[in-house]
A and B are shown apart, each in its own frame.
Chain A
């Protein structure tokens, strides 16, 4: 596709359930980022993938959060045993190259934990 695609766009779940959020980056982009944006807030870095290097997981808030990426393709962010404080928009972005260049964002997945 032409841009970064995220799914689902909206997800409502019950506390304690697991959720998976998917990101399809722009073809050819080696870098992929996940950010969390709480209502009215800025972007909180979660995890960064660059090519086949080990991901930078320094932003993951707890061990309930994990992410995988297949090569330079699709990424999945998994949140286990969701809590109400996990409610937020999860944004995925991709970029070309190894330097922190322009990020192209998806529209986000809005997660609501009841």
Chain B
């Protein structure tokens, strides 16, 4: 089963700052998904990246997939309090099942 390591585990910054969180594996990803989870809710898909070197933008969020497809990053520009949540990466862990990293818990302070 593929293991996904996310860093940092916790991040607390001020509104308006930029940040980057990471998802890494020792194995090659077939594809990678990023989810955000808010308190009391289930995770919601933000983006799926498939091709090595791929960059996808979602408003102030930029997702990058490493050339070797073993790592991915999420960069948030000018963070807002509404960006607060648990950011999870996920990939296929064999036999089509999806496995998740431990997540980065992000807090944006007003």
What are the interface flags for A71-103 relative to B under an 8 Å C-beta threshold, 1 for contact and 0 otherwise?
000000000000000000001010000111111
Among candidates B31, B96, B105, residue contacting A48 with C-beta atoms closer than 8 Å: B96
Query: Once bound together, how far apart are the Cα atoms of A48 and B97, in whole Å?
Result: 7
| Contact of B42 with A42 in the complex, beta carbons under 8 Å | no
What are the interface flags for B11-49 relative to A under an 8 Å C-beta threshold, 1 for contact and 0 otherwise?
000000000000000000011010100001111110010
Query: Once bound together, how far apart are the Cα atoms of A105 and B45, in whole Å?
Result: 9
Judge whether B100 is part of the interface by a CB distance below 8 angstroms.
Answer: yes
| Contact of B102 with A45 in the complex, beta carbons under 8 Å | no
Judge whether A21 is part of the interface by a CB distance below 8 angstroms.
Answer: no
Residues of A within 8 A of B40 (CB): 107
| Contact of B96 with A100 in the complex, beta carbons under 8 Å | yes
For chain B, give the interface size range.
20 to 34
Closest to B88 in A: A42
| Contact of B101 with A31 in the complex, beta carbons under 8 Å | no
A98 in contact with B96 given A42-B88, A42-B103 (CB within 8 Å): yes
What are the interface flags for B40-62 relative to A under an 8 Å C-beta threshold, 1 for contact and 0 otherwise?
11111100100000000000000
Closest to A43 in B: B100
Judge whether B99 is part of the interface by a CB distance below 8 angstroms.
Answer: yes
A102 in contact with B102 given A42-B88, A108-B42 (CB within 8 Å): no
Instruction: List, sorted by A's number, 15 A–B pairs whose CB atoms are closer than 8 Å.
Output: A4-B42, A35-B100, A41-B103, A43-B100, A99-B96, A100-B91, A100-B92, A100-B96, A100-B98, A102-B45, A103-B35, A103-B43, A103-B90, A105-B42, A107-B42
Give me the interface of B with A, judged by CB distance under 8 Å: 1, 6, 30-31, 33, 35, 40-45, 48, 86, 88, 90-93, 95-103, 105
Give me the interface of A with B, judged by CB distance under 8 Å: 4, 31, 33, 35, 40-43, 45, 48, 50, 56, 58, 91, 93, 98-103, 105-108
